[in-house]
Amino acid sequence: MNKFDATFLDELDSFVFLCDKKGAFYFANRCFLKKFGKVSNIREIKHLFSVDICVLDDSDILQYSPVESALLSKEQYFAVVDFEESYRQFRKVILKVLNREDDKKLFIISYADDLSTIKEELNELKTQANLYKFMKKEAENQTIKASLLNRVSASIRDTIDKNEIIEKSIEETIYTLGASSAKFYENKTNKTFSFGLKEDTALFGNAEELMTKEFALSTDRQKLFVSVKYREKSIGYLLIEYSQKNKLWRDEEIQLVVNICSQLAIAINQAYLFEELDNTLKELRDTQLQLVQSEKMASLGHLVAGIAHEINTPIGVINSNNDLIKKCVLSLGHNEENAAKFGVIENSLDIVSKAVDRINKVVKSLKNFARLDEADMQEADINEGILSTLELLNHEFKNRIEVETHLGDIPRIKCHPNLLNQVFMNLLINSSQSIEKKGKIIISSYLENNTLVLSFKDNGSGIKEENLSKIFDPGFTTKGVGVGTGLGLSICFKIIEKHGGIIDVKSTYGEGSEFLIKIPVKN
């Protein structure tokens, strides 16, 4: 019993005490203590109360007690009984017993000769009982509210995933409120999250339009709409429904949902910020990789230019001397005796000439692959870039991979030639590494609807279906340790994207892959 109730009961002129079902005392007011002294159990005073009754069983007449009867009664008890105030001196009293929600019983014993006072006291007690129930209910509501807010806060703290935040928060809300269903309409994605319904959990459309449509639909559900806002910026709308037709939302329930929506708005906004930060970091990482790759290509370009210059000088000398020797041999004249010797010399000179041509071709391919003019876009022949790249990879494919080319009559396009050459190199190396023993690579180029289409197809090991969606992600690789960095295809994707094009992959695991590049041709 709280302090307020005890103070009030102490002021009454009636004998008031509180006990449990076994009669053990929990409280007695001042009037009771003055009359009876300290009592620990109701059975210590039950003999002082009696009633004029007709008991059918004579053996029970001495045992019957109205106090005992009131203690055992499951209903509210009221009776006029005799109270032995002093030895053989009886006085009529009214015995009133109230059953409390905590299973305790409140006894009120008043003299029957003052009925008006008793009525007033009973009315006051009823008022107090109603006030107690109200305060108890209010305390329970506050406890439920605090518990729900704590659970929602805990759910929000445990994750930064937006979808998980929405699901946990709303599921906790409808469970606590006993609602039948709920929907959250998100403005940013035009997505609807549904809970407690059999329908799909993801619907799409404008949030405000969906909200208006929902509100206009069936009237057999009592609906509560709350706007989810963060600093006056609308994030979405929350709809909670009760299946009962006559359900009325109480003010405290509405306020609770509003408070939850405030926390939900903060959490969703934080999730948005994290997503933006994560995307920014990915973009920075990709940009950094491209810058590193560009620096590598620039360094390679300078190195190749220097090497080409150093190689061209002695190659020029060899070529000149080779031509001079040919002329000298021809001027000596042939006869039967030296015919065989001249044949060997001429054959050797032809071999040297072919080797020099091969060196010149490789140097030209290197210079074409690592061009230094990557800063500005310029017109270039894409077929030439593919052939130059194949020339450099000749040692990789020799005697193991057959390369078949179907290069169509395509126009020169404005591009960054060295960057596209990187893409060709990467795709061809990947194809080569996917072919374990012997295999085939087919390269095609053609024009389709003012779009340049390039195809790199192989009959290698292929890509597993679960990896296809991740194949262009930075850092993702299916190669063994030390074989690849996982940056190649990611950089290829960015380079093609930089040219306003797209790159896609088709693959069947165990049969091979095909990479398709599409770049728009600008007039």
Q: What is the pLDDT of residue 231?
A: 80
Work out whether the CA dihedral 178, 181, 186, 189 comes out positive or negative.
positive
Q: Does the structure show a pLDDT above 80 at 312?
A: no
Q: What is the pLDDT of residues 450-509, one digit of tens each?
A: 899 999 999 888 888 888 888 887 766 666 544 443 357 888 888 898 899 999 999 888
Tell me the range of 173-177, 264-268, 516-520 where mean pLDDT is highest.
Answer: 516-520
Q: Looking at the predicted structure, is the pLDDT value of residue 97 above 80? A: yes
CATH fold match for the domains 3-140 and 373-520: no
Q: Using CA atoms, how far apart are residues 415 and 20, in angstroms rounded to an integer?
A: 93
Asked if pLDDT for residue 358 goes beyond 70, the answer is yes
Q: Which helix (H) or strand (E) holds 271?
A: helix 251-332
C-beta neighbour count of 109 within 10 angstroms: 22
Query: Rounded to an integer, what distance in angstroms lies between the CA atom of residue 482 and that of residue 286?
Result: 21
- Which pLDDT value is given to residue 108? 92
Instruction: Report CA 89 to chain centroid distance, whole Å.
Output: 82
Spatial separation of the C-alpha atoms in residues 290 and 285, rounded to whole Å = 9
Domain spanning 373-520: CATH 3.90.1150.10: no
End-to-end distance of the chain based on CA atoms, in angstroms?
A: 91
Q: In angstroms, what is the C-alpha Rg of the chain? A: 48
3-state SS class at 212:
helix
Q: Which long-range contacts (CB under 8 A, 24 or more apart) does 406-410 make?
A: 406/442, 406/443, 406/444, 406/445, 406/446, 407/383, 407/443, 407/444, 407/445, 408/444, 408/445, 408/446, 408/447, 409/447, 410/382, 410/383, 410/445, 410/446, 410/447, 410/452
Of 229, 152, 240, 241, the closest CA to residue 186 belongs to 229
Q: Sorting pLDDT into bands at 50, 70 and 90, what band is 196?
A: low
Cα-based distances in Å from 51 to 23, 54, 108, 296: 20, 10, 17, 110
CA 262/CA 149 separation, integer angstroms: 11
Lowest mean pLDDT among 47-51, 74-78, 112-116, 217-221: 217-221
CATH architecture of 147-276: 2-Layer Sandwich (3.30)
Tell me the pLDDT of the chain averaged across its residues: 77
| DSSP structural state of residue 409 | -
Angle between the 339-369 and 251-332 helix axes, to the nearest 10 degrees? 160
Do 518 and 453 meet the contact criterion of CB atoms below 8 Å apart?
A: yes
Output the six-digit token pair for 433: 């590494």
pLDDT number for residue 504: 92
Among the listed residues 233, 293, 239, 243, the one whose alpha carbon sits nearest the alpha carbon of residue 265: 233
**192, 204 contact by CB (below 8 A):** yes
- Write down the H helix ranges in 370-487: 382-392, 394-397, 417-434
CA distance 516 to 455: 5
DSSP 257: H
Tell me: pLDDT of 517 over 90: yes
What pTM did the predictor assign? 0.42
Distance between CA atoms of residues 186 and 235, nearest Å: 6
Those residues with Cβ within 8 angstroms of residue 270's Cβ, 6 or more apart along the chain or in another chain: 160
Q: At what angle do helices 488-498 and 251-332 cross, to 10 degrees?
A: 90
Whose tokens are 């009037």? That residue is 31
The Cβ of residue 97 has, within 10 Å, a number of other Cβ atoms equal to: 21
Residue 86 vs residues 48, 89, 90, 91, 99: alpha-carbon distances, Å = 9, 5, 7, 9, 29
Please give the C-alpha separations between residue 373 and each of 297, 302, 350, in angstroms, as whole numbers: 11, 11, 36
Pairing state between β 502-508 and 413-415: unpaired
- Residue 391 has a pLDDT of 84
Taking the C-alpha atoms of residue 387 and residue 458, their distance in angstroms, rounded to an integer, is 17
Nearest-CA neighbor of 418 among 300, 289, 283? 300
CA distance 51 to 180: 55
Domain boundaries, the chain: 3-140, 147-276, 373-520
Query: What is the predicted pLDDT for the residue at 374?
Result: 53
* Residue 132: partners with Cβ closer than 8 Å, 6 or more residues away: 5
Which fold is adopted by the domain 3-140?
A: Beta-Lactamase (3.30.450)
Among 276-290, 420-434, 467-481, 492-506, the minimum mean pLDDT is found in: 467-481
